[in-house]
Chain A
Amino acid sequence: MDWYPLWNSLRIAAISCVIVFFAGILGAYYVARMPRVVKGLLDVVLTLPLVLPPTVVGYFLLLLLGTRRPLGIFLMQFGIKFVMTWYGGVVAAAVVAFPLMYRTARGAFESFDETLAYSGQTLGLSNTYIFWRIRMPYCRQGILAGTVLAFARALGEYGATSMLVGYTPGKTATISTTVYQLWRTGNDARAMYWVLVNLAISTVVLLVVNMLERRNDRGVRS
């Protein structure tokens, strides 16, 4: 039994989740402070990957990072190649999962009571301290929920991943691309096996989300 797809899927999901966690929070924090017109525009651009078909996102990524494209050629000089590599899968998953984190974090930040930040400032607390010790804890339910959603989305990524990194057993194969390959080659029993693995992971993720939401309902901060 080759466990590589599971391992590869988990590492891609985990790494892209960490990237998206910080990028989403920073994006949410700064976009909320932009002038209204810029805010509206950035909001559209940053949310697009959520509504575009993942294959279209993958197509854009190929346009950007393809080995015959300027940025792709430039990166090749440093030995970095996102096409047909497992870390290309990280890029694809991160781009597709980003809007989930960004939007949930923004919702959480918008519910934040700004007078808390102001009173922190007048008490002499640094803006960094206020961000990590007051704003983030206040918004932690929303941010955790966003993180879990982003992780789940990254784990299930298929469209953009197959466009950018394809399916190479032992190299770029993830659970979702493996299921498709096995089914396409008539290996239904093995495909079913990976489907069950995927179901198990997704169930756990959803249970975690529900748990977080219930804690939120109980109103830690009534």
Chain B
Amino acid sequence: MLSVQIKKKLGAFSLNVAFEAADGVTGILGASGCGKSLTLRCIAGIETPDEGRIVLNGVPLFDSEKRINLPPQKRRVGYLFQNYALFPNMTVEKNILCGLRHQPDHQKRREALNAALDMMQLKGLERHRPAQISGGQAQRVALARILVSQPLLLMLDEPFAALDSHLRGALQIQIKRLLEEFSGTALMVTHSRDEAYHLSQNIALMDDGAFLAVKPTKQLFANPGSVAAAMMTGCKNIVPATKTGEYEVEVPGWGVRLVTAQPVQDDVCAVGIRAHYFGLRVQQNRFAVRQTDEMEEPFEWIIRFRFAHQAEDTPDVWWRLPKDRRPQEMPPALGVAPANVLPLYPPHRDAGKGGGNA
């Protein structure tokens, strides 16, 4: 259980985050430069926040009022860096032993080392140097080194960014298993919504130095709630809207009125419709459309279209469908189920616990 409430100014950038992360994995999702890594560095003790407090399992790591600021060495926070930060002058074995220097007993140290080598499938690489092993192996060494140091909090900073795309899938499954075995709290920073969705139970959305929301992963994707959250979860069609009824909004940019499944609040400012959700045979919210262009992907088509009365300055609408479902000709009208029309609100509505950029 981690509770963070910190502020830090770095030149023109200001970080102001407040969130709580329960045991299990919390993904921190946001664009590059939004302060994700800085947040991790403050928690690890590499950077000192200007003010606030960081509490891990009831133990304060940092508290500006009580003048507590534990050095990184005393925080028991495992930090997997983007480049894995293996010590280049040491062998794989020596690197892992660096995480075991707290263990005075030689025999126990060897046992822990061997267990880690076994678990991370690193047998046979003990005498190799970091420059001689692959990216995937380097990641496993870095994880082994962190896990033998028995951290209470695990932080992974873009764990797959340094890997070739074909390696990512397999390693994601491996890390998922590892994280499930880890009993404490884990934070994973990523800018990939797929990674966040796959690996984390909760997702914290971050934008410009602040947390927008911390929500259970499935809930966040099903109902992002705000424009920024919808964008970060990959919603392609976001358009301004106003309330016209309990379950109805008007979208002036598209020249249509859409029926929703969830009740619309008074301060609705936009609606989001994921590119997958338009349907050929859906009868609700069905309007005349015409195709403007198309893009071919390996297994899907992306078709962009405009509504019959769409405003000039409103961008084309994205529709994404599997190749085998594409009709011969562009249908004259498309529909979207009310459940897939997501009402979106100004950011303050779903701000994270105790803060956000209200």
Chain A residues close to B by CB (< 8 Å): 113, 115-116, 118-126, 129, 134, 137-138, 220-222
CB of B79 within 8 A of chain A?
yes
CB-CB nearest 7 A-B residue pairs = A119-B85, A121-B72, A137-B89, A221-B88, A122-B79, A115-B85, A118-B46
Q: How far is the CA of A82 from the CA of B266 in the complex (A)?
A: 86
Q: Name the distance in Å between A222's Cβ and chain B's nearest Cβ.
A: 5
What are 18 A-B contacts with C-beta separation under 8 Å?
A113-B83, A115-B85, A118-B81, A119-B81, A119-B85, A119-B142, A121-B44, A122-B44, A122-B73, A122-B77, A122-B146, A123-B98, A123-B149, A125-B98, A126-B73, A134-B87, A134-B89, A220-B131
Q: Which residue of A lies closest to B99 (CB)?
A: A123
* Complex contact A121–B98 (CB within 8 A): no
Residues of B within 8 A of A116 (CB): 85, 87-88
* Complex contact B88–A122 (CB within 8 A): no
CB of B49 within 8 A of chain A?
no
| Residues of B in contact, count (CB < 8 Å) | 26
Q: Which residue of A lies closest to B79 (CB)?
A: A122
Q: How far is the CA of A116 from the CA of B98 in the complex (A)?
A: 12
Instruction: Produce 1/0 per residue, B14-58, CB < 8 A to A.
Output: 000000000000000000000000000100111000000000000
Q: How far is the CA of A119 from the CA of B99 in the complex (A)?
A: 10
Q: How far is the CA of A126 from the CA of B73 in the complex (A)?
A: 7
* Complex contact A122–B72 (CB within 8 A): yes
Q: Which residue of B lies closest to A124 (CB)?
A: B73
Given A121-B46, A124-B149, A113:B85 Cβ within 8 A: yes
Q: Name the distance in Å between A30's Cβ and chain B's nearest Cβ.
A: 18
CB of B331 within 8 A of chain A?
no
Q: Which of A113, A125, A222 has the most CB of B within 10 A?
A: A125
Q: Which of B41, B79, B142 has the most CB of A within 10 A?
A: B79
Q: Which of B46, B89, B99, B101 has the most CB of A within 10 A?
A: B89
Q: How far is the CA of A57 from the CA of B11 in the complex (A)?
A: 41
Q: Which residue of B lies closest to A129 (CB)?
A: B101
- Which residues of chain B from 90 to 110 have a CB within 8 Å of any chain A CB? 98-99, 101-102
* Complex contact B99–A121 (CB within 8 A): no
CB of B71 within 8 A of chain A?
yes
Instruction: Produce 1/0 per residue, B101-130, CB < 8 A to A.
Output: 110000000000000000000000000000
- Which residues of chain B from 70 to 86 have a CB within 8 Å of any chain A CB? 71-73, 75, 77-79, 81, 83, 85
Q: Which residue of A lies closest to B85 (CB)?
A: A119
Contact partner, B71, options A113, A119, A121, Cβ 8 Å: A121
Q: Which residue of A lies closest to B102 (CB)?
A: A124
* Complex contact A115–B83 (CB within 8 A): yes
Q: How far is the CA of A118 from the CA of B77 in the complex (A)?
A: 12
Residues of B within 8 A of A221 (CB): 88-89, 131
CB of B145 within 8 A of chain A?
yes
Q: Which residue of B lies closest to A118 (CB)?
A: B46
* Complex contact A115–B81 (CB within 8 A): yes
Q: How far is the CA of A144 from the CA of B149 in the complex (A)?
A: 33
Residues of A within 8 A of B83 (CB): 113, 115
Residues of A within 8 A of B44 (CB): 118, 121-122
Q: Name the distance in Å between A153's Cβ and chain B's nearest Cβ.
A: 28
Q: Which of B71, B87, B146 has the most CB of A within 10 A?
A: B87
Contact partner, A118, options B85, B131, B146, Cβ 8 Å: B85
Contact partner, B145, options A113, A123, A220, Cβ 8 Å: A123
Q: Which residue of A lies closest to B151 (CB)?
A: A122
Residues of B within 8 A of A121 (CB): 44-46, 71-73
Residues of A within 8 A of B79 (CB): 118-119, 122
Contact partner, B146, options A113, A123, A220, Cβ 8 Å: A123
Q: Name the distance in Å between B39's Cβ and chain A's nearest Cβ.
A: 15
* Complex contact B85–A125 (CB within 8 A): no
- Which residues of chain B from 137 to 179 have a CB within 8 Å of any chain A CB? 142, 145-146, 149
Q: How far is the CA of A138 from the CA of B85 in the complex (A)?
A: 12
Q: How far is the CA of A154 from the CA of B20 in the complex (A)?
A: 60
Contact partner, A125, options B73, B78, B89, Cβ 8 Å: B73
* Complex contact A118–B72 (CB within 8 A): yes
Q: Name the distance in Å between A192's Cβ and chain B's nearest Cβ.
A: 46
Residues of A within 8 A of B71 (CB): 121
Q: How far is the CA of A124 from the CA of B76 in the complex (A)?
A: 8
Q: How far is the CA of A221 from the CA of B83 in the complex (A)?
A: 14
Q: Which residue of A lies closest to B75 (CB)?
A: A122
